[in-house]
């Protein structure tokens, strides 16, 4: 009987996702999660697993649950083999007279899907990839490096600051253009919700990135923000950052979950009554909330999922306060208005292309 090869401790990282790992399973140094994943999926036929992104998904500790096809392909690419599988043992009854019966159980982790259906995993993957923060993170780190290098409370680099703030609105705009659910709305409904959505995503993007780049730890940066936006803005920012989840997948799901929360916009307080079909908007929000909750339960278990979901609601409250306050800032209102015009133009061109095709 072929045994799972288990060598002495190696003190390395999993070659599949990068998580801490000490042993070699199926021929590759891997963590327990990737070992179990390969054991469940190693014998699947290739045509049953499909990638929605041309088999180019990056597999790491945070994204390993998003694409089963690419994760399995990486397992084989790094040398995992199914010939090291061993059959399950048949346990003998320990007491005479006991009947060895098999009890049917529900496999909640089949195909690494847990509570989520395949279509929900696809939606989760789409929402994760729709929000591309790479350019914003680069500008945020560049700004942080400038302050750390100069160590000056009053030192500012207008170019770095401008690039960083511009990236916040650009990132929000690209996400709203990439969100397929927003693109499917009617032109009239879309024009009603875009102002509030742009406000929400821009504000939450600012908090999300400033926390990720550790800009809140730099006194010189906070001084610059205070000079530009006022003490109250910085105070609300800092109040919201403590609720941001360390899991970047949850952070991105939260952005989608908050994007269409229209009651945060004082300019569009009656938006739901003016929509052609308000039920569609509520269905989108409900779908995002369900995916977020199921991912939390799958990833962390019920008790931890409750705690993290509570933090999401507290973050929503903080973002609501920030959005409400931001609408009194001339610079922010102008940037959001410009952003909405660009988004509407881009989505209109997309509509024309679809009709032409």
Token readout for 205 is 């993007």
At residue 299, the pLDDT reads 87
From 198, 167, 205, select the one nearest 265 (Cα to Cα).
198
CA 17 to chain centre: 17
More confident residue, 71 or 320: 71
Sign of CA dihedral 237, 320, 177, 299: positive
Domains delineated in the chain: 1-85 (3.30.50.10), 120-356 (1.10.565.10)
At residue 307, the pLDDT reads 92
Q: What is the pTM of this model?
A: 0.62
User: How far apart are the C-alpha atoms of 342 and 348, rounded to whole Å?
Assistant: 10
More confident residue, 299 or 109: 299
Name the packing angle between helices 231-241 and 187-212 (round to 10°).
80
At residue 151, the pLDDT reads 61
Q: 89-98, 132-141, 189-198, 222-231: lowest mean pLDDT where?
A: 89-98
User: Is pLDDT above 60 for 298?
Assistant: yes
User: Is pLDDT above 50 for 95?
Assistant: no
Beta bridge mates, 25: 28
User: Is pLDDT above 50 for 161?
Assistant: yes
**Mean pLDDT (whole number) for 333-354:** 83
Sign of CA dihedral 231, 236, 237, 242: positive
User: Is pLDDT above 50 for 3?
Assistant: no
The whole-chain average pLDDT of the chain stands at 77
User: Is pLDDT above 60 for 152?
Assistant: no
Measure the CA dihedral 107/113/118/122, to 10°.
170
Residue 285 binned pLDDT confidence (cut-offs 50, 70, 90): confident
At residue 266, the pLDDT reads 38
Whole-angstrom CA distances from 281 to 54, 192, 273 are 30, 11, 12
* Max Cα-Cα span within the chain: 83
Residues 223-269: tens digit of each pLDDT: 878 877 788 888 887 777 778 888 888 888 888 888 887 544 333 44
**Mean pLDDT (whole number) for 125-139:** 87
Most confident option among 90-99, 171-180, 216-225, 233-242: 171-180
């Amino acid at each position: 009987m072929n045994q799972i090869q288990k060598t002495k401790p190696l003190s390395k990282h999993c070659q599949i996702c990068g998580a801490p790992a000490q042993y070699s399973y199926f021929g590759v140094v891997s963590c327990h999660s990737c070992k179990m994943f390969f054991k469940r999926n190693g014998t699947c036929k290739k045509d049953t697993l499909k990638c929605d992104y041309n088999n180019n998904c990056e597999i790491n500790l945070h994204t390993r649950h998003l694409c089963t096809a690419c994760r399995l392909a990486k397992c084989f690419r790094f040398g995992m083999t199914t010939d090291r599988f061993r059959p399950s043992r048949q346990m003998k009854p320990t007491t005479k007279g006991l009947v060895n019966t098999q009890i049917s159980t529900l496999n909640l982790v089949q195909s690494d899907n847990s509570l989520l259906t395949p279509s929900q995993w696809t939606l989760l993957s789409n929402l994760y990839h729709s929000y591309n923060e790479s350019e914003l993170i680069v500008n945020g780190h560049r700004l942080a490096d400038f302050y750390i290098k100069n160590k000056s409370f009053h030192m500012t680099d207008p170019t770095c600051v401008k690039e960083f703030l511009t990236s916040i609105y650009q990132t929000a705009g690209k996400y709203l253009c990439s969100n397929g659910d927003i693109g499917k709305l009617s032109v009239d409904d879309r024009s009603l919700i875009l102002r509030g959505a742009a406000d929400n995503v821009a504000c939450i993007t600012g908090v999300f990135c400033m926390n990720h780049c550790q800009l809140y730890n730099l006194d010189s940066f906070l001084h610059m923000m205070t000079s530009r936006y006022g003490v109250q803005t910085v105070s609300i920012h800092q109040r919201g950052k403590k609720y941001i989840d360390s899991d970047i997948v949850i952070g991105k799901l939260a952005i989608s979950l908050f994007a269409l929360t229209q009651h945060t916009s004082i300019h569009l307080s009656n938006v739901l009554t003016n929509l052609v079909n308000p039920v569609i908007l509520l269905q989108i929000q409900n779908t995002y909330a369900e995916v977020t909750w199921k991912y939390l339960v799958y990833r962390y278990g019920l008790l931890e999922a409750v705690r993290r979901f509570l933090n999401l609601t507290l973050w929503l409250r903080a973002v609501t306060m920030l959005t409400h306050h931001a609408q009194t800032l001339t610079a922010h209102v102008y940037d959001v208005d410009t952003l909405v015009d660009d988004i509407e133009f881009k989505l209109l061109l997309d509509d024309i292309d679809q009709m032409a095709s």
